[in-house]
Amino acid sequence: MANPFATSRWFHKIGHVTNTQGWRLAPTPAGLAVLTTTGRRSGKQRVRAIRAVRDGDRVYAVAMLGRRCDWVHNIRAKPEVRLKLGRRTYDARARVLDGAERERAAEAYLPNAGWFDYFDYANLMWSIPTRAKLQRAHERWFAEGVPVVFELAVC
């Protein structure tokens, strides 16, 4: 049985509070990033831990809540963001993907699974995670969510 609260914005806000703060301080593991956007109405910095997979100078992520996701609205209004990967923080430009770019993003994003993905799966699906279940979930979340690319600034 899937977690009945998993599609709720409040469920994700609680997850943000419990997960993001620690990753702001500690190095993020491969497959996880800390995203800093500028609020579209407030102009304040908004920080969020997201699942993100790096492929060269691009980083791919998916907003699981789709167009209801606040950070997607923020990057549409102001695409200049900061992205913490591991110990380093990068300036980046974000944009929502479409067309052929979605295929490239899927090739990079879908096969990767970090240890934290197993915890997320158990929390969202209320089921014991396996590699196969996790792969199917990532495919569904990618298809139903909003894929985003972050193009890292060249230093």
Helix spans in the chain (H): 9-25, 70-77, 100-109, 115-125, 131-144
What DSSP element (H or E) covers 113? none
Domain count, the chain: 1
Residue 4 inside a domain? The answer is no
Residue 13 inside a domain? The answer is yes
Residue 2 inside a domain? The answer is no
Expressed as residue numbers, the domain containing 148 is: 9-152
Is residue 130 classed as helix, strand or coil in its secondary structure? coil
Residue 1 inside a domain? The answer is no
Residue 138 inside a domain? The answer is yes
pLDDT single digits (tens) 94-146: 999 988 889 889 988 888 777 677 667 676 766 788 888 888 888 988 899 99
pLDDT single digits (tens) 43-91: 999 999 999 999 999 999 999 878 788 899 999 999 999 999 999 999 9
Residue 123 inside a domain? The answer is yes
- Residue, of 102 and 7, whose pLDDT is higher: 102
Closest by CA to 152, choosing from 107, 106, 98, 86, is 86
